[in-house]
Structures are given as structure tokens and as C-alpha cells.
Amino acid sequence: MAREHVSGYETRDGKVVGSYTRRKRSTGVVMAGVVGGAVALGGGGTASLDALSALRSRPAQTSKSSARNVEVRTFARLKIKGYQVKQNSRSQFGSCKDKAYGQVERFFAAHPCRSLHRFMAELVSPSGISVLVAVSVVDMPNAASAAEFKDLVDVHGTGNVLELPKEMRRYRTVEFTGYRYGSRQDDTLVTNVQVEPFGRSRSAAIAAEVLSLALEAK
């Protein structure tokens, strides 16, 4: 083990310390070498190359990817049940306040979200009945604020995230009453779903089924 000489010195309180030798300190640079499929680290530990490679290649679990997964699972479940997606759209935002109304807008002003993912679809049931579904996925900074948001938005008349179809000319006249509404919380994500009959043939039963399927798509 390398050692170094330390010259004598005087401490702040006047104590005199004589010269001595001590173990040489590490320079702080980590030297790594490959030994039998492992990386030997200067700190004395070893890690396998496979483990380090996995850490480098592991994708970050972002709120955007999680919200996008909600959309993919929702449409997959609806298609399995025979629903055709006639038209769909999505929108991604980093702010919720600018796309909210009512008490929900004021909530986001005081408690900003991390991201907002909205998607919608005009669906046609196996029996030919059309419905419109609007979904928002809000990612909050933590589970507590997510629960607080869910408690507020679940109360009828407190507002919501602006339904994506309202920004599209074809669907601007559709009124989202909030009576065909449901939500769920998955850690920091809060998903809420609204469904309304659309077109000449209307069926409350079909709308209720779509709402149930969308909420079950975890």
C-alpha cells in the first residue's frame, strides 16, 4: 500500500503536530478494468458487464409513455369487443391549467401537473351504434396530489380537463354532461373517461358499456 510523508504543522489552537507518514489517499478517479466478464471498480466493488449494459439501455419510464400506454390498452380492449374506431385523435401537453375549466382549472393553478395526455375516438359498436369517448390522463407530481385531484374532479359540476372533441369542428355540438363519467387512479396517474351517444341511432346501454371497457383497460 503506497504511503506519503506529512510534514509537521501547528493546529489552530496552537497544538504542534510532528511529521508522520500516512496511507496515500485515493485521487477520486475510478479506474475500471474488465476481469472475467466483470468490471472491477476502484472503490473495491465489481459489477457485471450485462448489468451495466442493462442500466445504460433501460428506457426511462416517463409520464408520457405511461399515459400513452393507457391509450393503447383502451383501444385494444374496445377493438377486442368488436368496436370499430372510426376516427381518433390525441394531444399531449406539459400543462393542465391551460386545458381545464371550473374548479379543476383553479386546482391546477395551485397544484401544477407534470403532464396531460388526452385522446378521443368516435366508435361504432358491433350493432352499428356510434358513441364518442373522451379520455384524459393527468400525471401529478405524487400520489397524494393525484388523489386530491381525483376527489375534486369526481364531484359533478366541479369542471374537468377540456374534452378533446370540443376542439374539433365535427364534435363541437356534443355536450359532455358528466353523467356518463368514470375515473381511476394508478399511482400518480389519474384517468377520467367520458362517453356520449353520437349520431342518429343512440343507445345509453352502448355508451355505458364503452365507459366500463375504457375504465377496465389497465
Q: Each residue of 66-85: pLDDT tens digit?
A: 888 889 999 999 999 999 99
Q: Does residue 41 register a pLDDT over 50? A: no
Q: What is the pLDDT of residue 144?
A: 97
DSSP H or E stretch at residue 88: strand 84-93
What average pLDDT does this structure show over 13-28?
49
Tens digit of pLDDT for each residue in 128-183?
A: 999 999 999 999 999 999 999 999 999 999 999 999 999 999 998 999 999 999 99
Q: What is the pLDDT of residue 21?
A: 58
Q: Please, what is the average pLDDT of the chain?
A: 78
pTM of the entire predicted model: 0.68
Largest Cα–Cα distance of the chain, in whole Å? 98
Q: What is the pLDDT of residue 199?
A: 84
4 strand-pairing partners: 22
The full set of domain ranges for the chain reads 3-57, 63-216
